Structure 1
Amino acid sequence: MAQEKKTTETISCPLARLFSEMEKGWGGKSTFFRHLHQSHVELLKAFRSLLDERIVELEQKAAAREKKRTTKIKVE
C-alpha cells in the first residue's frame, strides 16, 4: 500500500507571503526584517487600542442605560 503524502496549504495575505518567502531566502537578520517585525508589532498595538476604546464606549453606554430608570412621580 503506497503512502500518500499529505500537504496543507495555508491561504494568507499575498504581501505577508511575499515577505515570508523573502525572509526564507535572505535570512531574517537584516535591518529590513527587524523593521518589518517592529511594524507588525505596532500594527497589532494599533488594533488593540481601537478595541480598548470600543470596549470603554460599550461599557459607558451600558452604565448610562442602567442609570436611566423611570421614577414614579405623584401628581396632584
Structure 2
Amino acid sequence: MSYAASLGMSRHQCADVGDSRSDVPLFAEAGLSIAFNADRQAREAASVSVDGNDLQTVIPLLKAWFETRGN
C-alpha cells in the first residue's frame, strides 16, 4: 500500500485479489476485492468471487470496475 500512497492513491482507489483469510483485512479497505479460487472467509469478505484455471479470469472484473469509475 505504500506504493499506492506514493502515487497519491487511497486504498479505496485500489483493487485487491486474494484467496484466503489473510486477505480479508485488505479486502475491507479496497475499492474492489476479488476472491480468486478462494476459501470461504475470503469469499464472504470480497466484493466478488471468481473461480478459474488462470488469474486472467479477473481481468474483465477489473476492467469493468475501472470503467465504472470514469477513469
TM-score norm. by structure 2 comes to 0.29
Which is strand-richer, 1 or 2? 2
Which has more radius of gyration?
A: 1
Which is helix-richer, 1 or 2? 1
TM-score norm. by structure 1 comes to 0.27
